[in-house]
Amino acid sequence: MTRRRYVRFEHLGRVRFGRVAPTVDDVTPVEVLSADPIRTDATPTGELLEMEEIRFLAPLLPGRVVTVHSAYADVPAESPRFTLGPPPASVDPQTTVPPPARYAAELAVVIGRDSHVFGYTCANALTTDSLALGPWIVTGIDPASLGIGSMVNGVRRQQSTTGLMPTPVPSLLTHITATTPLSPGDIVLTGTPAGSGDLTPGDWVTVFIEHMGTLGNKVSPTRSR
């Protein structure tokens, strides 16, 4: 399957969907799509935009969130523990969030139609009800052994590989969907490596996953009133 990167972005005051096209002459355009490709049969509109013309948003507005309660390198469990939560507040890439906040690098599985996997994106659960996602959703990638980690102010805090997940993604999804039907736009947070923790005002946090890019956010220097 061809690897693709799907984006949600703002252009001239409109929120639109697209996918990153191949680079030509050092220019990487975004191919505009007619609608949300996760939930509909989106088609190319024929319009191409340069990345400098757009502002990247969280690549989806999630439906429900399935949180898997396990840490990397845990002993494999026959029945992984998970909880189902309501849609979180989505945090866009490269934006500032108010304290208090935490960092926890996670691979997020994005569910498409018929409970099939649409793709994967970087995630960072900054608070109990807000979730940073992005910069895009990657399709056509094997999640079995990807480098994953986080950095705070340029200092590495987490470093691991998805190969150390206690339960691989396909088995996780089989276990979850046996009791919990999933809908397009739902996401599964698959756990985080050791080293997650609290952020302080002014911190810059970056989550990275191999072949999937980086997701950065800043914590505001002061609390919002």
Distance of alpha carbon 130 from alpha carbon 100, whole angstroms: 11
Distance of alpha carbon 72 from alpha carbon 81, whole angstroms: 14
User: Do 31 and 51 touch, CB atoms closer than 8 A?
Assistant: no
Is the predicted pLDDT of residue 166 greater than 90, yes or no?
no
Amino acid at 133: L
**Pairwise pLDDT comparison (217 vs 225), residue with the higher score:** 217
pLDDT at 73: 73
pLDDT at 94: 96
What is the pLDDT confidence band of residue 224, given thresholds at 50, 70 and 90? low
Strand partners, 92: none
User: Do 59 and 48 touch, CB atoms closer than 8 A?
Assistant: no
The token pair at 206 is 């970056």
Work out the percent of the chain whose per-residue pLDDT is above 90.
85
- CATH topology for 65-219 is Fumarylacetoacetate hydrolase; domain 2 (3.90.850)
Is the predicted pLDDT of residue 113 greater than 60, yes or no?
yes
Strand partners, 148: 160, 209
Query: How is the chain split into domains, by residue range?
Result: 4-57, 65-219
CA–CA distance from 79 to each of 109, 202, 209 (Å)?
19, 40, 26
Distance of alpha carbon 208 from alpha carbon 190, whole angstroms: 15
Distance of alpha carbon 203 from alpha carbon 96, whole angstroms: 10
Is the predicted pLDDT of residue 75 greater than 80, yes or no?
no
For 84-96, the pLDDT digits (tens) are 999 999 999 999 9
What is the pLDDT confidence band of residue 27, given thresholds at 50, 70 and 90? confident
How many Cβ atoms sit within 10 Å of the Cβ of residue 160? 19
CATH code for the structural domain at 4-57: 2.30.30
pLDDT at 22: 85
The average pLDDT across 138-161 equals 96
What is the pLDDT confidence band of residue 78, given thresholds at 50, 70 and 90? low
**Pairwise pLDDT comparison (77 vs 101), residue with the higher score:** 101
Is the predicted pLDDT of residue 110 greater than 60, yes or no?
yes
Amino acid at 104: A
